[in-house]
Amino acid sequence: MKIIVVGTGFVGLPHAAVLSEYGHEVHAYDIDEARIKAYKSGERTRIERYVNEPGLAAAISENINRYLFFTTDISNVVEGLDAVFLCLNTPPNRDGSSDLSYYLNAAHHLADLLAKRQDKKRVVLVNKSTVPVGTARLLENIMREYGVENVGVAANPEFLAQGNAIEGSRRPDRIVLGADTEEDFQILRRVYSQFVNHVRIRYLETTPETAEAIKYMANTLLLTYISFWNGVGGRLAESYGNIRMEDLKIGVTSDSRISTWGSYVSNGAGGSCFGKDIQSLIYQLNQNGRSTDLLQAVYNINEYQKSYLVDRAIHEADFNFNQKTVALLGLAFKKRTNDMRDSAALKVVESLLARGVHSIRAYDPLAAEDAQTIWFNPEDNHLFGRISYHANAKEAIQGSDALFISTDWEEFRGLSRTIETTVQPPYLVIDGRRMLPDFDALVAQGYDYLPVGGVLLCGAQYQKQPANSQPSAKVVGETKPIA
């Protein structure tokens, strides 16, 4: 099949690479010349500067100039075309609605080119990135406006999680296709031929509107589930010292109807999708005069979760951040990515700066470079100038008064020894990801430990107890981080 992929970001680039692995002729198109140049080079570091996904660079270099072509001009590849996948970003507007300007620009450009085709072969235009319900219909109207002949529209949402885009594309759990005609389904069946009638991969053909709605339902349900654990499980464990989060998880999720994914507490879910999609769905339903109370509550719980540990530190640990130095471990929205979009760290930094911290010593294995472009204001750097970036966790912790763990990077797990050998109590460890399984040893030495989903363990109190009556920190809190 001859395919164009429009937009080569987190969605489009892995999709283009994997489509080319199937043996299709794929033209990956983007208006960003620097990006296209980097991809064309086939060099891993240059590709990963834009999209950092395991296996992606290898998949590109394997197929480049054989099945996979990169271009900033598609005017000469529209003849003989079978399908176009639209993978444009749709960031949120202030009112929560999706900003479709990139999408619409691309759609008009495409319509203009397709209207001038000579061969008039049937072509299907497929929305791959998350777009509001009704966008396939909008695309159809644009094509009609330009007089494009023999064209169909379809929705084929992607369900990939960042960090797993290549593996997830090779072995998806489902392919959801929404189209209007048998002719269009036939084209899409050829695109995804290895998944039709697959024993394990669900292959669903439905209407474009249903496919669009499936994507919003899936993402907002996942966020609802995470928020239930944060907003109910976490709150319970933070209220009663003897609730063990790990046991709570086992006990609840042993019911085969209840998912283990999402059943751990954290300092909020971030990323480019959950927050944007739930706001967009709220907007879409509001536009239709429908109630959105549940979605609104989920959104609020998740946002609250991202910075509430700073408030807990003030109210429960009696910690005054004013003029203090805080080490911040983890800037990315989750491990194994450099992506900081909607990351909890953004809220944590905002909250710490608002409480007058003297400085923030940050470390992230991948995201520090991006952070420096986000937290930078050449005109007025009195706030962001307080953030320094460090080569590793130990260096970030040096000279700090408190530590905040915000991302679940594996290397932060069991960091207690590093803490002990770098800073002395009194010292507050705020654990937004439950990364310290041996926190009891830390507390025994006088460090204060404030975990998400657990009560404050106060090192000084622990040390004041006579040796034979010391309570076990394990009993009061939890035994393991839950990840």
| Cis status of the peptide bond prior to 426, with omega within 30 of 0 | yes
Residues 272-331 that bind ligand UGA (CB under 6 A): 273-274
| Residue 160 found at the interface with ligand UGA (CB under 6 A) | yes
Nearer to ligand UGA, 82 or 158 (CB): 158
429 vs 420: CA distance, rounded Å: 11
Nearer to ligand UGA, 257 or 382 (CB): 257
Active site residue 87: no
| Cis status of the peptide bond prior to 208, with omega within 30 of 0 | no
| Residue 429 found at the interface with ligand UGA (CB under 6 A) | no
| Residue 34 found at the interface with ligand UGA (CB under 6 A) | no
| Residue 346 found at the interface with ligand UGA (CB under 6 A) | no
| Residue 227 found at the interface with ligand UGA (CB under 6 A) | no
User: What's at 317, amino acid-wise?
Assistant: A
Edge-to-edge strand list for the sheet holding 25-29: 68-71, 25-29, 2-6, 83-86, 123-127, 151-155, 174-179, 202-206
H/E stretch holding 154 reads: strand 151-155
28 vs 36: CA distance, rounded Å: 9
Nearer to ligand UGA, 175 or 273 (CB): 273
Question: Exposed, middle or buried by CB within 10 Å (0-12, 13-18, 19+), for 2?
Answer: middle
Site mask for ligand UGA (CB under 6 A), range 93-132, x = bound: -------------------------------------x--
2 vs 24: CA distance, rounded Å: 6
User: What's at 165, amino acid-wise?
Assistant: A
Q: Which residue among 162, 220, 224, 400 contacts ligand UGA (CB under 6 A)?
A: 162
| Residue 262 found at the interface with ligand UGA (CB under 6 A) | yes
Nearer to ligand UGA, 146 or 228 (CB): 228
Total residue length of the chain: 483
**Which range touches ligand UGA (CB under 6 A), out of 64-72, 114-122, 152-160, 411-419?**
152-160
| Residue 156 found at the interface with ligand UGA (CB under 6 A) | no
| Residue 454 found at the interface with ligand UGA (CB under 6 A) | no
Question: Min. distance of Cβ 370 from ligand UGA in angstroms?
Answer: 15
394 vs 419: CA distance, rounded Å: 8
**Out of 11, 26, 273, 317, which one is annotated catalytic?**
273
| Residue 340 found at the interface with ligand UGA (CB under 6 A) | no
Compute how many residues bind ligand UGA; rule: CB under 6 A.
19
Q: Which residue among 3, 16, 214, 226 contacts ligand UGA (CB under 6 A)?
A: 226
Check if the beta carbon of residue 178 is closer than 8 Å to that of residue 211: yes
| Residue 228 found at the interface with ligand UGA (CB under 6 A) | no
189 vs 183: CA distance, rounded Å: 10
Question: Min. distance of Cβ 410 from ligand UGA in angstroms?
Answer: 13
| Residue 266 found at the interface with ligand UGA (CB under 6 A) | yes
112 vs 462: CA distance, rounded Å: 72
Question: Exposed, middle or buried by CB within 10 Å (0-12, 13-18, 19+), for 342?
Answer: buried
Q: Which runs of consecutive H residues, i.e. helices, occur in 101-173? A: 101-115, 135-145, 165-170
Nearer to ligand UGA, 267 or 400 (CB): 267
Nearer to ligand UGA, 342 or 448 (CB): 342
Catalytic residue numbers, as ranges: 273
Residues within the interface to ligand UGA (CB under 6 A): 130, 158-162, 219, 222, 226, 262, 264, 266, 269-271, 273-274, 333-334
